[in-house]
Amino acid sequence: MGNKVGIVGIGMTKFGEHWNKGLRELIVEAGLKAVHDANLTGEEIQAIYGGCMAPGLFVGQEHISALIADHVGLGGIPSTRVEAACASGGLALRQAYLAVRSGRLNVVVAGGVEKMTDVPTNLATVALMGAGDEEWEGFYGATFPGLYALMARRHMYEFGTTREQLAMVAVKNHHNGAMNPSAQFQYEITVDKVLKSAPVADPLTLLDCSPITDGAASVILASEEKAKKIAKETGKEIIWIASSGQASDTLALHDRDSLCKTKAAVLAGKEAYQQAGIKPGDIGFAEVHDCFTIAEIMAIEGLGFCNFGEGGKITENGETAVNGRIPVNTSGGLKAKGHPIGATGIAQAIEATLQLRGEAGGRQVKNPKYGLTHNVGGSGATCVVHIFTNEY
Amino acid sequence: MGNKVGIVGIGMTKFGEHWNKGLRELIVEAGLKAVHDANLTGEEIQAIYGGCMAPGLFVGQEHISALIADHVGLGGIPSTRVEAACASGGLALRQAYLAVRSGRLNVVVAGGVEKMTDVPTNLATVALMGAGDEEWEGFYGATFPGLYALMARRHMYEFGTTREQLAMVAVKNHHNGAMNPSAQFQYEITVDKVLKSAPVADPLTLLDCSPITDGAASVILASEEKAKKIAKETGKEIIWIASSGQASDTLALHDRDSLCKTKAAVLAGKEAYQQAGIKPGDIGFAEVHDCFTIAEIMAIEGLGFCNFGEGGKITENGETAVNGRIPVNTSGGLKAKGHPIGATGIAQAIEATLQLRGEAGGRQVKNPKYGLTHNVGGSGATCVVHIFTNEY
């Protein structure tokens, strides 16, 4: 099955509106924090995988891979950008994981970044719509909130999910985000506030939607031998990547069998559970892709934390709270932590590392053994799932 | 060293101006041709790696990975886009190669695509400048022809390379392109014509520059066992990937020790030669990244086919012609075959396959044993080198 792969260093910028920082400053800050966390020198790093969605549209810069290697000062090493819309970060993590797992390399960085402010709002909407089907959705005026609103309406119709249950996802995630010093929104909200916030795409209001965010995040992966050597020096617990799953679905929403069952998540989750030899019930906490509140509900159903149609109910029952049966988005999720597209999948891995190291502060889950991350591209056309553990 | 990896199928669209075809039609055409060449069914393909540089800017579509899997009809399999500007295709090939070499997968598609026409010319120039350093080059008005013109001037100054020698690269590549039914420009030109064509960035004229092109290309890679099984059915020779090298240089030109020695090409070439256990003298032909005529001259120097500074001379002597000592760009190169950014690295691998299979028609090199491809991102910040062989 390949070699063991451990996380030995993590680093991220605060997520938020960084009016005084550009793409490269964000990258350097997150990269150096991770290198320091692992107590490494640059010469030990052998390759970089970076996730970024639309830097060409946001800041006129493609070729981010070379920019990262150059500006973090890592010189001639191979550097590769991967992109799958909002799943770009998770996909970068997966490529780095596979490179170490293959036995070919023993220290690899996976990073992610997006600089989204300082552009006109309509450009951001156009750029983000590039994650869906431009010819069959974007061209006809569909936006991402619009696509997720369709899914929400269908979910309400099919399963009786209530408007309030959607809002409760945002309330829970803001509650958690208030305890996360890296989060964009560190304050609580109420169901009433969500319902009364500005409508975006009915039934979704502003507070059902993840924000526009600047940010970068990076993790350092190492082979078993190297990880143990590094951990001896840093004194930090190695967090192992137990498995990685990736799957695809149709790009356009209308081509799917169901509007509210996410095929790619089901497939990627199944692959990850199988590889790790565990079941959904073994997962101690999960970071899932709540770009909109309905997305979290569909995610926890697709990943098997409850039956299809019950995602709203278990949210209402408090089962996904930090102290619940299956804590979901203890970091605040995309909703409260923020969603700098390319960085999101890596930030999820950082939350998993913090939780499994026992360094999550006020939002710490009690003695988790396995954590799961779920990163989605577009309206579900790409899904990447990773499982992490501190027991191996 | 990992498992052997063979090319068992190739497919590409004609390169050129496809006014009646969009991104997805190009992808489907190239993908299906490769699948037919390998006589495969879709179910046998386990993963896709796709190279594309700037689809967000060119056609408003990111998330190309999911688009490919969806529109080629491959359903839920993992699909990953990689981007390193003009080296995106070579990088996709490398990721696919590593996936098969790791033993994890046995049939993987590597593809590349770019749809560049049907956009305003100034948008194309802006999009392409995203391959360089937007903050330190693009913002101040630098364009890609401008950057390569700087390199050309310096090469002429340092080594006495002549304006005519630059032109001879274009003349040779048009001569070869005239024998390639997939090429955008299938006609001969003369040195005089190059010198008298419209100036673009002095000393480079229009005929020193590769064109704006639409196109897609794909290759199917298989593990040794699977490749032999497929070859038995198709009767086609398996072309093996002997090695793969990747390296980085600074994103901006002004940060380099030399304007006309390409560090990333030297490093990536060295890695590829070492892995394959051969020397530059063993290479029977090379497809190199001639986005501008000067780029071919710097490439053949960096890859060790001659000493630094002698690239112009060996071009003038005919050593890089189809029947020369080291045939370069028998396909017509980027200059005559065309340069649909993301597809270029894959199209180079297709020419290598055709040459090593002995299927290159009028431009066939005599009994080559090793072929090399050299794919560059930006002004040299990323370089990917592959070596192919029919003897293994």
R_g over Cα of chain A: 19
**From CA B216, how far away is CA B203, in angstroms rounded?**
31
- pLDDT tens by residue, A186-203: 999 999 999 999 999 999
- pLDDT tens by residue, A244-294: 999 999 999 999 999 999 999 999 999 999 999 999 999 999 999 999 999
DSSP for A89-156 reads: HHHHHHHHHHHHHTTS-SEEEEEEEE--SSS-HHHHHHHHHTTS-TTTTGGGT--HHHHHHHHHHHHH
Nearest CA in chain B to A72: B250
Averaged over B274-298, what is the pLDDT? 98
> Chain B, 239-278: which have a CB under 8 Å from a chain A CB?
246-252, 255, 263-264, 267
CATH 3.40.50.150 fits A127-211+242-389, yes or no: no
A107: β partners:
A222
- pLDDT tens by residue, A24-75: 999 999 999 999 999 998 899 999 999 999 999 999 999 999 999 999 988 8
**pLDDT confidence of residue A125:** 85
> Chain B, 80-109: which have a CB under 8 Å from a chain A CB?
80-85, 91, 95, 98-99, 101-104
The structural architecture, per CATH, of the domain B132-211+243-389 is 3-Layer(aba) Sandwich (3.40)
- pLDDT tens by residue, A325-368: 999 999 999 999 999 999 999 999 999 999 999 999 999 999 99
Superfamily of domain B5-120+212-239: Thiolase/Chalcone synthase (3.40.47.10)
Antiparallel, parallel or unpaired: β A382-389 and A239-248: antiparallel
CATH 3.40.47.10 positions along chain B are 5-120+212-239, 132-211+243-389
Using an 8 Å CB-CB cutoff, list chain B residues near A255: 70
Specify whether A339 is catalytic.
Answer: yes
Q: DSSP letter at A168?
A: H
Q: Which of B18, B52, B86, B386 is catalytic?
A: B86
> Chain A, 129-188: which have a CB under 8 Å from a chain B CB?
129-135, 138
CB contact under 8 Å between A248 and B79, yes or no, is yes
Q: Is the pLDDT of residue B121 over 80?
A: no
Averaged over A119-138, what is the pLDDT? 89
Q: Using CA of residue A114, residue A115, residue A120, residue A121, what is the dihedral sign?
A: positive
**From CA A227, how far away is CA B190, in angstroms rounded?**
60
Q: Is the pLDDT of residue A1 over 70?
A: no
**pLDDT confidence of residue A241:** 98
